[in-house]
Amino acid sequence: MVISGHTKQDIFRMLSVINDPEIPVVTIFEMRMLRDVKITDKGYEVIITPTYSGCPAMGIIEQDIKMTLEAKGVRPVTVKLVYDPAWTTDWMSNTAKAKLKEYGIAPPLHSSCSNEVFTNNIIECPHCHSDDTVLMSRFGATACKALYQCNNCKEPFEYFKCH
């Protein structure tokens, strides 16, 4: 049986409303965790990739995808997790980076991640835009972020690490 009625673009549009559960101002599409949609005679397969191997949000994202599509009458839906190509912060759109900053998370600094992991990065404060900031903790509430403090406005903030 060939399933008709919904194109790949339709599915992408329906899924573009799903937010990243950890950072609810950006969508899984903007984060590029949503990789592809395959429509076969067996149903709809949504392909996602994790930001980090141990990302605890993947289970929630899978549920959100199924609920969103089933609510629109799209079924059957399967969600497949792929690791290749490995997710990188390079894929994040400028819109996503701007939204992160607005939300109070400094976006990843480098366009590409070399071996440079913690060396002397100057991270701009997302609140007052001062460059006078200091690394407080390399690891934060989620694996993807480090903790900084601004010496100018004194506010703490999170930095989305280059990955």
Chain contacts with another protein (rule: CB under 8 A): 50, 52-56, 82-88, 113, 115, 117-118, 136-141, 143, 147, 161, 163
First to last CA, the chain: 42
Which C-beta is closer to another protein: that of 58 or that of 65?
Answer: 58
Which C-beta is closer to another protein: that of 24 or that of 85?
Answer: 85
Shortest approach of another protein to residue 95 CB, angstroms? 24
Structure tokens at 137: 């903790």
The conformation of residue 19, written as its DSSP 8-state character, comes to B
Q: How far is CA 64 from CA 67, 84, 99, 122, 153, in A?
A: 5, 22, 21, 36, 38
Which C-beta is closer to another protein: that of 4 or that of 114?
Answer: 114
Q: Residue 60: count other Cβ atoms within 10 Å of its Cβ.
A: 14
- Asked whether the CA dihedral 96, 102, 104, 110 is positive or negative, the reply is positive
Q: Are 113 and 121 in contact (CB under 8 A)?
A: no
Which C-beta is closer to another protein: that of 71 or that of 141?
Answer: 141
